[in-house]
Amino acid sequence: MSRVVLGVAGGIAAYKACELLRRFTESRHDVTVVPTAAALEFVGAPTWEALSGKSVATEVFENITEVPHVRIGQEADLVVVAPATANTLARAAHGLADDLLTNTLLTARCPVVFAPAMHTEMWEHPATQDNVATLRRRGAIVIEPAEGRLTGKDTGKGRLPDPDEIFALCCEVLVRGGAPTTDLAGRHVVVSAGGTRERLDPVRFLGNHSSGRQGYALARAAAARGADVTLVAANVTLPDPAGVKVVPVVTTAELRDAVLSAAVGCDAVVMAAAPADFRPVATSATKIKKADDGSAPSIELEQNPDILKELGTHRPGPATVVVGFAAETGDAGGSVLDHARAKLARKGCDLLVVNDVSGGAVFGEDDNEAVILAADGTSTPVPRGSKSALAHVIWDQVATRLS
């Protein structure tokens, strides 16, 4: 059971922290809530106490015999501040110790996650951006706010991400235990996910069953390791991972454009998407009708660009690590790994994550099992486990090549 400190600052999104608290307690984490005085203007102490099963304090002089201003931080496995206001980010960045939360942040030696929420102007202000940069430089994970409706009628960047996704990111951080938390800090990585669709007519398309879950697990894991993540998502219905920039696309051509433009100068690009290899030569503007004589239409296809090969042969940055995926079966021409080695060379990538699909495809499953082949000839088997676990092994391999 991990000990989590949930810091809550004084913003309207404090009500969403109640949901986050529930996720932690329902999954048997021991949670101490440390609200700021301003947070209690939005959600009162009884709510935090009822949901966490513990009394809460905001000032260092409460329950003084327990020396809470030192103990709470020292004992924590994770501190997450959600929402983190501009004021709390500033106090944390400057090392102030004027309430229980800021004291806790100074005594904590565990991973610290800030989930900022504020108006766009406050988020974009150079003072806030400097404070965020300072906190990130010191090893904290500061999640990029989501875009959308803010308090009042305005919209923009500054929303607290979905509490479920903040929880998922915190779990990724906790699962890594003592490993260096932010080994991808300062890195920009691009991940593609999902399956593209090629339009036949206004109602039909050619597509595939890719769920996008492995790509989303990769994006979430990278964000939890401090990376700046762009996720190009082809027809995925999963919620946006916290702090990740999601670019929705439909077709392989759109996926190519979005990946190539996001990847300029990036540190790593992981092609976990399943792009359609072919598209109809023409898309009918009207619905293709059945013929009375029972005949079926012929659809002429042309090949789509191979995005991974393009990235492998024309690197988008001087030191970009390029990672591909391959689902293979063995046949008379060679084993799964023979085909995969040939594909790695053909596509010119640094790493190829190989799934043996001889027993059936792995689309939509919770678990994954793979071998990671590297251009330097090494191979790393990853036993059956969660898609998140495989994602972390992939990022381990990428991080080694970046350093």
- Active-site positions read 208
In this structure, what token pair is assigned to residue 179?
A: 């490993």
Closer CB to ligand CTP, 77 or 257, in the complex: 257
User: Taking CB under 6 A as the rule, does residue 325 contact ligand CTP?
Assistant: yes
83 upstream amide cis, omega within 30 of 0 = yes
Closer CB to ligand CTP, 243 or 324, in the complex: 324
User: Taking CB under 6 A as the rule, does residue 312 contact ligand CTP?
Assistant: no
CA angle in degrees (0–180, nearest 5) for 261-273-241: 80
Q: Which residue has the tokens 């790994």?
A: 337
Number of helices (H) and strands (E), helices first, in the chain? Answer: 14, 19
Q: Binding to ligand CTP (CB under 6 A): which residues in 206-265? A: 252
Shortest CB 250 distance to ligand CTP, Å = 14
Helix axes 14-26, 163-175, angle to 10 degrees: 50
**Which of 118, 193, 229, 273 forms a contact with ligand CTP (CB under 6 A)?**
273
Distance of CA 363 to the CA centre of its chain: 19
Closer CB to ligand CTP, 169 or 232, in the complex: 232
Closer CB to ligand CTP, 146 or 272, in the complex: 272
The identity of residue 397, as a single letter, is Q
Report d(CA 248, CA 251) in Å as an integer.
Answer: 10
Shortest CB 372 distance to ligand CTP, Å = 13
In this structure, what token pair is assigned to residue 3?
A: 């000990």
Neighbours of 127 (CB within 10 A): 12
Closer CB to ligand CTP, 136 or 347, in the complex: 347
**Which of 277, 365, 369, 396 forms a contact with ligand CTP (CB under 6 A)?**
277
In this structure, what token pair is assigned to residue 14?
A: 């404090």
Element (H, E) at 224: helix 213-224
Report d(CA 304, CA 198) in Å as an integer.
Answer: 10
User: Binding marks (x or -) toward ligand CTP, 280..309, rule CB under 6 A?
Assistant: ------------------------x-xxx-
User: Taking CB under 6 A as the rule, does residue 321 contact ligand CTP?
Assistant: no
In this structure, what token pair is assigned to residue 69?
A: 């201003």
User: Taking CB under 6 A as the rule, does residue 324 contact ligand CTP?
Assistant: yes
**Which of 194, 243, 275, 316 forms a contact with ligand CTP (CB under 6 A)?**
275
State the number of binding residues for ligand CTP (CB under 6 A): 12
Shortest CB 138 distance to ligand CTP, Å = 35
Q: Which of 196, 254, 266 minimizes the C-alpha distance to 230?
A: 266
Report d(CA 76, CA 61) in Å as an integer.
Answer: 20
Closer CB to ligand CTP, 296 or 332, in the complex: 332
Shortest CB 211 distance to ligand CTP, Å = 14
User: Taking CB under 6 A as the rule, does residue 322 contact ligand CTP?
Assistant: no
User: Taking CB under 6 A as the rule, does residue 326 contact ligand CTP?
Assistant: yes
Judged by CB under 6 A, the stretch of 3-11, 126-134, 140-148, 270-278 that binds ligand CTP is 270-278
Helices (H), 280-386: 307-313, 336-347
Provide the 8-state DSSP code for 121: H
User: Taking CB under 6 A as the rule, does residue 371 contact ligand CTP?
Assistant: no
Shortest CB 274 distance to ligand CTP, Å = 6
The two most distant CA atoms of the chain are separated, in Å, by 89
The identity of residue 129, as a single letter, is Q
Closer CB to ligand CTP, 277 or 369, in the complex: 277
Judged by CB under 6 A, the stretch of 81-89, 109-117, 174-182, 322-330 that binds ligand CTP is 322-330
The bridge status of strand 112-116 relative to strand 141-142 is parallel
Shortest CB 277 distance to ligand CTP, Å = 5
Which residues form the interface with ligand CTP (CB under 6 A)?
A: 252, 271, 273, 275, 277, 304, 306-308, 324-326
